[in-house]
Amino acid sequence: MIKKYFIPTIYIKNYRTLNLEKLREYGIKVLCIDVDNTLVPPHTANLDNDAIAFIQRVKDNGLLPVIISNNTEKRVQGVANQVNVDFYSFSCKPCKYNYIKILRDTKCTKNEVAVLGDQLVTDILGGNRMNFLTILQDPISDIENTSGKITRKIETKILATLSKNESLKKGTYYDNM
């Protein structure tokens, strides 16, 4: 049962290595993107040039980028405004509420949405509960915000269990599309 909820469809080093063309060919129309430790380190207000270029590449590939984060509206809106995308803040991932809103707002089906994030306990669990395509990336920083510190401790235990049965090993990247 743990596999069903915590194994991502794709595991990558970081968003720069994500094959957006393949996502589009697979029928993905919306890419839900986490903020902290996915696009920017926690407590960093501005996106760097790589993150801005990535969001533009998402758009250029015909996908709709959407920011979804457990962080505050002020924080998430500040990031989303830099790249002119819609955002969903204080999402309480892995809860389904904002994911359901995204489906309704974009008029997409579950098969047309992918989630990109750095945490099994929030991003991957939330996306898997919705039956979305899920993409795990390594965190871009060792620094964590308060909630990240808590979920990362839980994630460490889950990773140990998954690593024992060779379902998911940190640093062993794959694409199961």
Q: Within its chain, how far is the Cα of 134 from the centroid? A: 7
Q: 121 or 149, which is more confident?
A: 121
CA–CA distance, 111 with 33 (Å, rounded to integer): 16
Domains and CATH numbers, the chain: 2-175 (3.40.50.1000)
Question: Is the Cβ–Cβ distance between 29 and 65 less than 8 Å?
Answer: no
CA gap 50, 168 in Å, rounded:
27
In this model, does residue 146 exceed pLDDT 70?
no
3-state DSSP call for residue 79? helix
Strands (DSSP E) along the chain, which ranges? Answer: 10-12, 30-33, 64-68, 86-88, 113-117, 133-137, 174-175
User: What are the tens digits of pLDDT across the range 86-130?
Assistant: 999 999 999 999 999 999 999 999 999 999 999 999 999 999 999
Q: What is the pTM for the complete model shown?
A: 0.94
